[in-house]
Amino acid sequence: MTEQIAGKVREYIIINTSVDTLDDTLDIFDSGLVTSLFAIELMTFLEQQFAIKVTMNDLDMANFNSVDHITHFVEQKLQHGAA
Amino acid sequence: MIEQLAGAQQRAYAEFSSFAERYVAPFASQWEMEERISRDAIAQLAAAGYLGCMMPHELGGNGWNSLTYGLFIEALARASTSLSGLCNVHTMVLHTLLKWGTPQQQATWLRPMIRGELLGAFALTEPAAGSDIQGVSTQVAYAGDELVINGTKRWITFGGLADVFVVFGRLTDHDAAPIACLVEKDTPGLTIQPISQMLGFKASHLAELQFVDCRVPREQIIARPGFAFSYVAPYALEFGRICVAFTALGILHGCLKHCGEHVLTRKAFGTTLIEQSTIKAMITMMGVDYEAAGHLCISACHAKDAHLPNATEKIMIAKYFTSKAAHRHADTAVQILGARGCHEQHPVARYNRDSKTLEIIEGSNQIHEMILGNSFARKYRQH
């Protein structure tokens, strides 16, 4: 499950950036790999791909800044009923 | 464009067009001259359920998808771009609250706004900060259970009429974290000054908002501090760009209607204008751009309604292309109509003024080029 989520997230970020590989621990925002403009697209991707809903309580950069963190966030959302 | 729509959408579009022709078009020029929209028109919008755009039925909204919203805006903007501007800012505030508001904020604001009893406006732009929202400098300080706001917002669409604002600023500490909060129009410390004599959108009740030690309860923070510029504003601006794209589409449609009628009936040098090759070329380019813009706008809405991540980019493409085309062809329309098109009260004169504004608002087209240029280069690079 974890690798399935990570794989989809990793693939999505790679497609939308200029890299061929991606370290799952890399902070994609602080490293400059993506800009803040990517935040809404990433949020929409996560909501659509995993049928979750990002709400105000989820707004924490630690949830969105690396493949590892995003994967953990998605798993938590799915465990707690997605919404 | 209409043939691309499903039957239900075509019927909705006919309903919107009928509404605009009956309640909006006859009064639009008067509103522009008076630089105000009548409360009657807003009441008509509310009575028809048109102010609860894309809000869920369970909250009393009209439950539209973004394509239906776009068709509504297209029909409305053909009659009055200023009135489409009201729907734009009101819708942006509604969706900000629906997505990021606390349960208490949603319970307080959504239903009265959907019913049109209260109007919302989006207070982001400042004298020194427009498309680059990182330049926003309005100061927000924590003071016990309150926020204290100091700063100036300018060019706020329907700022002179709205009852509640989503205001963006920066915290005075916490690394100047971006923050958004709700401010009611009668809050002490907030002064609202109308702005007149604008080039376009003359009836949009533009205003400057001055905040001097303006205090609001801390519960009026929207979402979390730190995310106002990266999540709250961009989320709302997607709805804003849909509205701008379809407003421009409505202007293109209006140009075609007025020019079509004119070139088929007006004679010069013994023939109707349409028989002349230069006029044919003008109408061809106008019509082709309208069709192309319609495809882009509809495609963007399909992506938005399917909740696809590329909706953000498709909406930007639609806004960019359609607003540029609208301004180009509004200029052509004035040329074709000649002196009558230069009269302030003729719709194509209004289209000409308003379409320039569309190239500037909801992210200038130059900002769109900065973003889309990078995206296209990356997407289509040769490996």
**B146-167: per-residue pLDDT in tens?**
999 999 999 999 999 999 999 9
Interface size between A and B, measured as CB pairs under 8 A: 48
Q: What is the mean pLDDT of chain B?
A: 95
B101 touches chain A (CB under 8 A): yes
Confidence class for position B368, pLDDT limits 50, 70, 90:
very high
- Residue A83 pLDDT more than 60? no
Distance CA B70, CA B189 (A): 37
Instruction: Find the CB nearest B311 among A36, A42, A44.
Output: A44
Instruction: Write the DSSP symbol of residue B229.
Output: I
- What is the greatest pairwise CA distance in chain B? 79
B-facing residues of A in 24-43 (CB < 8 A) are: 36-37, 39-43
As a whole number of angstroms, the distance between CA B184 and CA B175 comes to: 27
- Amino acid code (one letter) for A23: D
What are the two backbone dihedrals, phi and then psi, of residue B148, each rounded to the nearest 5 degrees?
-115, 120
Whether residue A11 lies within 8 A of chain B, CB to CB, comes out as no
Nearest to B70 by CA among B56, B43, B91, B100: B91
Q: Write out pLDDT tens, residues B280-289.
A: 999 999 999 9
Packing angle, helices B66-79 and B277-305, rounded to 10: 150
- Between CA B168 and CA B237 the distance in angstroms is 13
Confidence band of A82 (pLDDT split at 50, 70, 90): low
Task: Please give the pLDDT value at position B9.
Answer: 93
Whether this model's ipTM surpasses 0.90 comes out as no
Asked if B310 has any chain A CB less than 8 Å from its own CB, the reply is yes
Please tell me which of the candidates A12, A18, A39 has its beta carbon nearest to residue B231. Answer: A39
| Residue B142 dihedral angles phi and psi, to the nearest 5° | -75, 135
Within an 8 Å CB–CB cutoff, is residue A58 touching chain B? no
Pick from B220, B239, B92: nearest CA to B162: B92
State yes or no: pLDDT of B381 exceeds 90.
no
User: Per residue in B280-332, pLDDT tens?
Assistant: 999 999 999 999 999 999 999 999 999 999 999 999 999 999 999 999 999 99
| Cβ-Cβ contacts under 8 Å, A45 against chain B | 309
DSSP string, B10-51: HHHHHHHHHHIIIIIGGGHHHHHHHTS--HHHHHHHHHTTTT
Residue at token pair 């989520």: A5
**How many contiguous H segments (helices) and E segments (strands) does chain B have?**
11, 10
What is each CA distance from B364 to A20, B85, B310, B361, B368, in whole angstroms?
32, 16, 20, 6, 7
**Helix, strand, or coil here: B283?**
helix
β partners of residue B146? B143, B217
B253 pLDDT above the threshold of 70:
yes
What pLDDT, on a 0 to 100 scale, did the predictor assign at position B90? 98
Average pLDDT over residues B159-185: 96
At A66, list the tokens: 């690396």
How does pLDDT run across B85-129, given as a tens digit for each residue? Answer: 999 999 999 999 999 999 999 999 999 999 999 999 999 999 988
Is the Cβ pair B308, A44 closer than 8 Å?
Answer: yes
Residues 6+ apart with CB under 8 A from A7: none
* Helices assigned H by DSSP within B266-346: 277-305, 311-337
Nearest by CB to B371, which of A18, A37, A48? A37
Q: Which residues of B are catalytic?
A: 362
pLDDT tens column, B45-91:
999 999 999 999 999 999 999 999 999 999 999 999 999 999 999 99
Model confidence over A61-75: pLDDT tens digits? 999 999 999 999 999
Q: What is the mean pLDDT of residues B217-242?
A: 96
Given this model, what pLDDT does residue B383 score? 62
